[in-house]
Amino acid sequence: MSTLDIENATIHYELSGREGAPLLVLSNSLGTNLSMWDAQVAHFGDRYRILRYDQRGHGRSSAPPGEYSFGQLGRDVVALMDYLGVEKAHFCGLSMGGMTGMWLGVHAPHRVDRLVLANTAAFLPPKELWDGRVRTVTEKGMGAIVDAVVERWFSPEFQASDPDEVARVRAMILATLPAGYAGCCAAIRDMDQREDIRSIRVPTLVICGSKDPATPPAQAEEIVGHVPQARLVTLEAAHLSNIEDPAGFNQAVARFLSEEQG
C-alpha cells in the first residue's frame, strides 16, 4: 500500500496507467474512496499515468480528529505531486473532489494543466444541513445516513438497473470513518469559492447530471459563469455521473483532455 504523511494525516494513493504519460489526478467525493474511479482507470490507463488517492478521512487514508478545510485537501494533492516529482497534471474531481479542484485552480494554478469539475458546487448551503450531518454520523454512525445518500446519488432508473454497483457504493459509504466524514462536512459547510474561482485561468470542463439533486445543474452553471475558460457538459445521470454514465463521462473528459494535444 502506498501512503504519504501530509499535515497530520496519512494519505493513501495508487499509481497506474502508462508510465511516462501525462498525469491525470482523480479525486473522490464525500463518503467514497478511490475505487469510485475504477471505470475511469480502465478507460484512461493506456493514455495517461493515473494518480488516484483517498481524500483525508476517507478510504485507507487516516481520519485526523477535528474539522478540515479545502486548503488542507488541496495541499494534500500538491504534496502528493511533489513527492512523485510531478510539476503539472490534469485534475478531475467529483463533488468534494471538484471543490478540491477549484481550490487548486485558484491557489496552485501552475500545478494544473486542465481541470475537470464534476457534479460539484462552489458554495453549498445551508450550514445547518452540514452541522446536522456531523451530529448524525458522530452520534449514530454512517448507517444513519446511507439510505438518504444513495437516494440522492443515483437515479431510480440506475438503482433498478445496476443494483450491484449501487451496493458497492453503499459499502464505501458505510466504510467511511465518521470522524473523516465529519471533518470533510465541515470543509464543505465553511466553503464559499464563488468569487475566488473568477481567477481560474486554466482550461476547465464542468460536468453536471440532469438528475442530480445533490449538486443540481444550476450549481454547474454558476461555476461556468464565473470561470472564464469553463465549458459545460450535461449527462443524463444523478450525482455520481462517472458511475451512472461512465461512457458519457469518459467521452467528455477524453475529448477535453485531448484538445491540448490536438
For residue range 52-71, what is the model confidence (pLDDT) as tens digits?
Answer: 999 999 999 999 999 999 99
Domain ranges of the chain: 2-258
CATH class for the domain made up of 2-258 = alpha beta
Asked if residues 244 and 238 have their Cβ atoms less than 8 Å apart, the reply is yes
Three cell numbers, residue 1? 500500500
H or E stretch at 217: helix 217-226
User: How does pLDDT run across 189-247, given as a tens digit for each residue?
Assistant: 999 999 999 999 999 999 999 999 999 999 999 999 999 989 999 999 999 999 999 99
Report pLDDT for 173: 98
Which residues in 162-175 are b (16+ Cβ under 10 Å) and which e?
eeebbeebbebbee
Report pLDDT for 37: 98
What is the dihedral sign for C-alpha 163, 145, 122, 105?
negative
Average pLDDT, the chain: 97
CA dihedral 99, 100, 102, 105 (to 10 degrees): -170
By CB atoms closer than 10 A (0-12, 13-18, 19+), residue 46 is: exposed
pLDDT band for 179, please (50, 70, 90 cuts).
Answer: very high
User: How does pLDDT run across 82-124, given as a tens digit for each residue?
Assistant: 999 999 999 999 999 999 999 999 999 999 999 999 999 999 9
Report pLDDT for 262: 38
Q: Would you give the DSSP letter of residue 113?
A: E
pLDDT band for 1, please (50, 70, 90 cuts).
Answer: confident
Residues in the chain: 262
